Amino acid sequence: MELAAAPLFASSASVFKITDIGLPKSNIKGELGRLNFSCFPNLQHLDLGSNNLSGSIPSQIGSLSNLTYIYLYETNLTGTIPKEIGSLRNLEVLDLGSNNLNGTIPLEIGSVRNLEALSLDGNKLSGTIPIEIGSLRNLQWLDLSSNKLSGTIPKEIGSLRNLKELDLSSNKLGGVLPQEIGNLKSLTALSMDANNIGGPIPSTLFRLTNIEYLSLGFNGFNGSIPREIGNLKNLTSLSLGGNKLTGHIPSTLGRLTSLQILDLSSNQLHSSIPLVIGNFSALSYLDLSDNRICGIIPDELTKLSHLKYLNLSSNLLSGQIPFAIGKLFNLASLDLSKNKLSGSIPTEIGNCSELRNLTLNHNSLNGTIPLEMGKILWLQNLDLSHNNLSGTIPKTLPPMYLDMSFNNLEGEIPTYLQGHPPKSFVGNKGLCGHVKGFPSCSQSQKHPPSIILFVKIFLPLSLILPFIILGFILLLKRQNKTPKLNSRAAKNGDVGSIPTGIDNCSKLKNLTLNQNSLDGTIPLEMGKILFLEKFDLSHNNLSGTIPKTLRPMYLDLSFNNLEGEIPTYLRDNPPKSFVGNKGLCGQVEGFPSCSQCQKLTLSIILSVKIFLPLTLVLAFTIFGFILLLKSKSENPKLVSRAAKNGDVFSVWNYDGKILYEDLINATEDFHIGYCIGTGGYGSVYKAELPDGKVVALKKLHHSETEDSAFVKSFQNEARVLSTVRHRNIVKLYGFCLHKRCMFLIYEYMERGSLFCVLRNDDEAIELNWTKRLNIVKSVAHALSYLHHDCTPSIVHRDISSNNILLDSNLEAFVADFGTARLLHVDSSNRTLRAGTYGYIAPELAYTMVVTEKCDVYGFGVVALEILMGTHPGELLSSLSSSSGPKIMLIDILDQRLLPPMN
């Protein structure tokens, strides 16, 4: 329809008194100005939205004094908004969105007092928001988004008490958010994202208790997230990403139990992920990426069963990926890249069957790629690059875009993945296959002749066999002295075989015994269970052959020590059901035929018959020679001590008895599960001794124990440090200097470091002003003792909140004194570089002289950190500058506590 038909409208308008023109989405073309508005004096509703109009809005529209609704959205209109629009005193709705209008918003808009909805979004309007807009007291919806508006948000906007939705996003607005925004008590949606608004988030904003949608992202907001945010209990969507927010994620956020979307990405937030995150039972979108968040991924995060998008990338997270991640069945995107995560990829991730995107690159993950990832059928993007993964690429992975570069993978690149670019696999020296730049796998599949087998298998065996025998002898002696260790393993039921009587459960349909430590063979009687449909024995230590009595069913025998032929009737099971059993053969993809295995076995038997006797003779000869040498050169008492306690093991300041074995057993040989912290010099482990007392073991990164001069210097230095006695210095009980590890034994502090306590809202509030003052005093007394009461004086070198530990009563103790000296015993106090970034005295950068003054500077930074609740950062340079602004103490105090009254 063309607007040229306007004369026809005109002739009939006076006859029929037209009040409503409603032709949206009618493919109307032409200029709006061709419509003779004077012919429609009774017009109340004008709706020409979503048509192909052109030209500008004619000024004659101001003559339609009865108009209440104007819908001209998506009509390609150009030009400016005529000021005559202010004459439409009965107008309630004005929608000019998604056009090409330019110019400014006319001041006369403030005269349309009955206006309830104003939408000018998606145009090219410039200039400022007129203060006259504050006169529209009936306004409920205001949308000025996606324009080129500049200037500040007028405080008059706070007069719009009936406003329900306000959208000013995607403009060039600056300044700060006016305090008057808190007057909009009816507001349910506020969007200010993608502007240049700065300053702190005003506290008045948190009076808007009816608000459900709040988006302030991609601005310049600074300061911390106010604790008052917990007042907005109706919030379902909160977006504060892309700002300059600092400090902690407040624990009060846990009150927002209706949240579905939470975006705090691209800020400067630190501390750990608060445990209250588990309160967001309805959350489907969580983005905390690109911050400075540290600590581990809490298990509470895995309780968010509705979560579909999770992004924690580009932070400082450490520890392992929680096994419970497999509970997030609805997860479609998971990004944990660019952190410090370690450990293996949990097999439970295969339960996240809805995953489309999995990004774990740039971490320190190790272990193999789980076969269970083959269950994620919808996976489209997989990035495991820049880790320490080993093993082969599973053949169960679905075809997708992937990046496995820069790991330690080996074996053949699966055929269906060989279409990927070579860069997806580079940095894995052990990979082969038909991919450009990688060797063919054909040579590695040839069986070596018997002489090569001897060189590869028996020659190394002949070299290490004497040491294996010696180890068995020492182990037997140790077991005779400590029988409790063996009995404890038996009590836990960690080992055992499958009982033969299990066939009496004749109606059994599902039998799952995976991921235990079962050994022995698979009982033949299993074939009697006629109704068995699922049988899972994976990840055990079972040996022998697969019984031919088993019925056809779904089974998983992977990752055992099974051998022999895979029965013919079981060959329909997928190859992953048998992987991880090096001795299996048969006509199953990825397994050798049994005829080849027999040839190889004959070759090995031939080698055994010829070379094994020779190897044993050689081994016993070497073993006898070693014993002869040892009996002549070593004092029996010293040999016993070395076997029992390591090379050098000494404990002085402990009221009980500590054995080397007790410490190793208490931490299960320094298992990561006992690790409670990692620093520049080593990792700290919690060890509970047999008498129930707890100590902290600091396993040092660096070891030069082969150097006898280093051993002697280390012992002397450690003994000097052991003489330190002060009530506010952590006790050093002793040390161990072993060829395998080197560690210090310290008094255990229950509450951890001051750094972590200050970054946890609940613990920081518990640390009131009195306790904080006592911490400052305690640290000052400890440093005074080290500097003035020790001979020679001891310079700590690394005073920081990480090295101030708190006991159960929140009393402070200085830790890690002298660790740098222990590791660099040939360095003097005056030349040793040490310290933590942010606590190092500026003059150290150019003088390189470490003195007591360096400790005093670090103490000052820690004192400010205790007052502020966070590291002072740029405040340090402001305080040292004479031209800087005056700063009141009350302005920098930790806002989580009420100001001190005394």
List the one residue out of 399, 280, 381 whose CA is nearest residue 328: 280
Q: What is the distance between the alpha carbons of residues 897 and 201, in angstroms, rounded to a whole number?
A: 19
E strand map for 176-290: 189-191, 198-200, 213-215, 220-224, 237-239, 244-247, 261-263, 268-269, 285-287
**Which residues pair with residue 863 across a beta bridge?**
none
String of DSSP letters for 431-471:
EESSSTTS--STGGGSPPPHHHHIIIIIHHHHHHHHHHHHH
Phi-psi region of 619 (alpha: psi -120 to 50; beta: other; left: phi over 0): alpha
20 catalytic per annotation: no
3-class secondary-structure state, position 500:
helix
Contact between 551 and 528 (Cβ < 8 Å): no
Give the other-Cβ count within 10 Å of 739's Cβ.
Answer: 11
Show the tokens assigned to 392: 């082969």
Upper half-sphere CA count for residue 757 (Cβ side, 13 Å): 29
List the one residue out of 645, 647, 750, 648 whose CA is nearest residue 695: 750
Give the other-Cβ count within 10 Å of 632's Cβ.
Answer: 7
Among 798, 816, 855, 894, which one carries the catalytic annotation? 798
Amino acid at 513: L
Contact between 832 and 794 (Cβ < 8 Å): no
Q: Is 698 annotated as a binding residue?
A: yes
CA angle 878, 882, 884 (to 5 degrees): 45
C-alpha distances (whole Å) from 390 to each of 369, 427, 839 are 8, 12, 39
Contact between 849 and 831 (Cβ < 8 Å): yes
User: Long-range contact list for 161-165, CB < 8 A, 24+ apart?
Assistant: 161/137, 161/185, 161/186, 162/137, 162/138, 162/186, 163/139, 163/187, 164/140, 164/188, 164/189, 165/140, 165/141, 165/189, 165/190
List the one residue out of 610, 623, 613, 527 whose CA is nearest residue 570: 527
| H/E element, 340 | strand 340-342
> How many residues can be counted in the chain?
902
Q: In what order do the strands lie in the sheet with 543-544?
A: 543-544, 561-565, 583-585
List the one residue out of 102, 139, 93 whose CA is nearest residue 122: 102
Contact between 264 and 285 (Cβ < 8 Å): no
Active-site residue numbers? 798
Which residues does the annotation place in the binding site for ATP? 698
Residues annotated within a binding site: 698
